Each structure stands twice: as structure tokens, then as C-alpha cells.
């Protein structure tokens, strides 16, 4: 039976936006016990203090609904080294994906324009489709995938997008746009909401959170999480920062207890061991320099920039290369479905020891 006929026979029928949307391809199953260099996760696990906090959770703390005030206070005072946030400038979500979804629910509007880059994080598009938005994308520029700043400005002026998403550094190209340019984009149209996805910012080090005044620049929201740096991807904990009035509305569309108690305890413990996070980020940066030098001495095309990952154009077909690595116990990700980088693979960067393992296998399967 054809897909169209199946849909026509459905009773009740899903919303048209859901029928037409393209679902986001989440990580595959059976990834444990392998060297995970495919989804940009922390490759060594969280701080021991996180494990201690989870083990200390008592039965009565599981049987009661989660509470968030203690975590909010930690975020206000301890999340950022050089500033304090107002309690109402923060949203706590079930992962960064939860923040993205809530923002689209709050501001996404049917037939209004959603603007982003391409390629970028794949979850933005289905969220825009769910709201029935018109999707407008700008390609990165040249072999170094520079941010399309000129075209982006033109599109903002011409179409007045309701929502704009900038992944910074961008996943998967690692492209970085500086803080001043983002502020200038926000000033082009104060009615356009710009969401800056900073999940990989720590691996570059130029967060807009350092300097932005949410009372002055009200149309920028910033998303971060503890998945990539603190190793809490499995617990799903993410944050959004922005003007208190905007955050009030975003928080309305979330469930009352979307974030579970284990995530809360783990996040507090992680925030109280920032040295662990900083040490891990430093290890990744050192490993990035090491593996970048290895590829610099080959004839292969590779692309390194701001994130904890890089792009590589292997000699063999990307899918074949991906499968060859899996057989050797290493996961990497083919970019076959990503515009302008279809012939590449994306490799997450772990520690130097892990990248030495990757390099040894790469020489066997592709060089």
C-alpha cells in the first residue's frame, strides 16, 4: 500500500504538518562498549562527583516530584564565572532539544519564515515543520564553510523572519560567527527572534553569555547544555537564557516536571566540579591539535574549526568507511544526507589517547 493511501485510511488522521514533516534521525541503538566518535558526546563520562550525587539519592527523593529551585540558584550564581543571572532569565529543559522544541512552540507560527543555515543541526527543521513555518536556509561559503553573513543580512531585511537559529559553533561544519555580528543581526529587525545554539561553545570559547544584556537586547536567546562537556547526555539537561519576559512565555509550554530528579542532582554536582569540565575541554582541544596535524600531512581533505568534531573526506565511500570503522569498534558518522558535505564523515574528538586509536584504525581502513 502506498504511503499516501495509508495516510488517507488513517482514522483519526494526524495534523497535516506532522504528516509532511521530516523526522530527526536520532543516535542508533547498540552504541555501548564502542569508541563513540559519532554524536559529539563526552567520551570519558561525567565527574565522579556526579556519580556520587546520583548514588546518594534516597527513596523518598524518587517518589516525590522533582524540585528546581536549588538548581536555579546554582545556575544564577555558579553557571557563569563572570556574571550572575536573574532567576527569571533561565529556563531548565529536558536537554537542549527540549529548549528548541519549546521555543518553536512559543514563537513558531504557520506560514511565517524560519531562517537558519544549511547544513546545521537536523532537529531545527522538523520543529519548524511542526509549526507549519516556511523554511529559508543559507549555505555556508567556500571550502572553509564561512558564515554567510551578507546573505543572512539580506534575508532578514527582505523576509523579516519570525525565528532565526544560529548554531555557534555550527554542527557539523564547526563554523563560528563572532558575538558582535550576532548582535548586529539582532538589531536589523527587533521583531525577529534569534536563537543562538551554543552547545559546542566551550570547545571554542567565545560565548555570547559573557557580555549580552538581555534587557537591552531582548530578541536573542542562548541555549547551552551539560551533554557535550559534562557528560550528562543520557540524563537530558539543557538550559536557555534570555530576557525574563520571553522566558516566562517559553516556560509556559513546558510540562511541570519535564526534567527528572536524577538530572537535577547530576547537574548541581557537575556545576560544583567545573574543574573537571575544564580539564576535559582542554584534553579535547589538545587532541584536536594532534589529529589535525596528522591529517595535515596527508593529501586528504579535512576541515577543523570550533567544535569537538571535524569533517573528513575519505578515499572510500563514506558509508563504507563508517561501516569499516564500526567493525573495528569505532563509531563515526557519514554525512551522506547533509547538503554540501555529502561525501564526508564527521568524527567526534575525544582525548589524545582515543584519537591515537582512531588514527591507527584510519590508516588501516582508508589510507
Ordered by start, the domain boundaries in the chain are 28-45+275-365, 48-272
Angle between helices 48-55 and 261-271 in degrees, nearest 10: 140
Kindly report the pTM of this predicted structure.
0.94
Closest CA to 264 of 58, 115, 50: 50
CATH 3.40.190.10 fits domain 28-45+275-365: no
- Taking residue 211's Cβ as centre, other Cβ atoms within 10 Å add up to 12
List of the chain residues with pLDDT < 70: 1-7, 10
Q: With contact defined as beta carbons under 8 Å apart, do 107 and 133 qualify?
A: no
pLDDT of residue 29: 80
pLDDT of residue 134: 97
Closest CA to 246 of 76, 107, 92, 85: 107
Q: With contact defined as beta carbons under 8 Å apart, do 230 and 47 qualify?
A: yes
CA 244 to chain centre: 23
Main-chain phi, psi angles of 16, to 5 degrees: -55, -40
pLDDT of residue 1: 56
Cell, residue 77: 550564581
pLDDT of residue 65: 95
Query: CA torsion sign, 339 to 344 to 345 to 348?
Result: negative
Burial of 116: CB neighbours in 10 Å, binned 0-12, 13-18, 19+ = buried
pLDDT of residue 316: 93
Main-chain phi, psi angles of 35, to 5 degrees: -80, 110
Per DSSP, what are the bridge partners of residue 196? 166, 222
Stated length of the chain: 367
The CATH class that applies to domain 48-272 reads alpha beta
Amino acid at each position: 500500500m502506498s504511503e499516501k493511501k495509508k495516510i488517507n485510511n488513517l482514522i483519526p488522521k494526524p495534523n497535516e504538518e506532522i504528516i509532511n514533516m521530516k523526522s530527526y534521525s536520532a543516535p542508533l541503538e547498540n552504541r555501548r562498549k564502542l569508541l563513540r566518535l559519532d554524536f559529539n558526546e563526552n567520551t570519558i563520562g561525567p565527574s565522579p562527583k556526579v556519580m556520587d550525587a546520583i548514588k546518594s539519592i534516597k527513596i523518598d527523593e524518587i517518589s516525590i516530584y522533582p524540585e528546581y529551585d536549588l538548581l536555579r540558584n546554582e545556575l544564577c550564581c555558579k553557571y557563569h564565572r563572570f556574571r550572575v543571572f536573574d532567576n527569571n532569565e533561565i529556563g531548565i529543559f529536558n536537554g537542549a532539544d527540549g529548549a528548541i522544541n519549546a521555543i518553536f512552540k512559543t514563537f513558531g507560527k504557520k506560514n511565517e519564515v524560519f531562517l537558519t543555515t544549511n547544513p546545521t543541526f537536523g532537529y531545527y527543521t522538523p520543529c519548524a515543520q511542526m509549526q507549519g513555518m516556511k523554511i529559508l536556509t543559507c549555505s555556508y561559503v567556500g571550502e572553509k564553510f564561512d558564515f554567510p553573513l551578507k546573505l543572512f543580512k539580506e534575508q532578514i531585511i527582505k523576509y523579516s523572519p519570525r525565528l532565526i537559529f544560529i548554531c555557534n559553533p555550527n554542527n557539523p561544519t564547526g563554523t563560528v560567527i563572532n558575538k558582535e555580528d550576532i548582535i548586529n543581526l539582532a538589531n536589523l529587525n527587533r521583531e525577529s527572534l534569534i536563537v543562538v545554539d551554543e552547545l559546542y561553545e566551550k570547545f571554542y570559547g567565545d560565548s555570547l553569555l559573557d557580555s549580552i544584556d538581555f534587557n537591552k537586547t531582548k530578541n536573542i536567546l542562548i541555549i547551552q547544555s551539560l551533554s557535550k562537556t559534562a557528560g550528562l547526555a543520557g540524563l537530558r539537561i539543557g538550559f536557555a537564557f534570555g530576557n525574563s519576559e520571553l522566558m516566562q512565555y517559553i516556560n509556559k509550554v513546558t510540562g511541570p516536571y519535564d526534567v527528572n530528579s536524577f538530572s537535577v542532582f547530576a547537574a548541581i554536582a557537575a556545576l560544583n566540579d567545573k574543574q573537571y569540565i575544564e580539564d576535559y575541554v582542554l584534553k579535547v582541544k589538545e587532541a584536536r591539535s594532534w589529529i589535525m596535524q596528522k591529517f595535515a600531512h596527508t593529501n586528504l581533505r579535512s576541515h577543523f574549526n570550533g567544535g569537538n568534531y571535524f569533517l573528513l573526506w575519505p578515499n572510500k565511500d563514506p558509508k563504507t568507511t563508517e561501516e569499516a570503522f564500526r567493525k573495528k569498534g569505532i563509531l563515526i558518522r557519514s554525512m551522506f544526507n547533509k547538503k554540501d558535505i555529502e561525501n564526508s564523515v564527521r568524527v567526534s574528538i575525544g582525548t589524545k589517547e582515543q584519537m591515537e586509536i582512531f588514527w591507527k584504525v584510519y590508516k588501516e581502513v582508508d589510507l
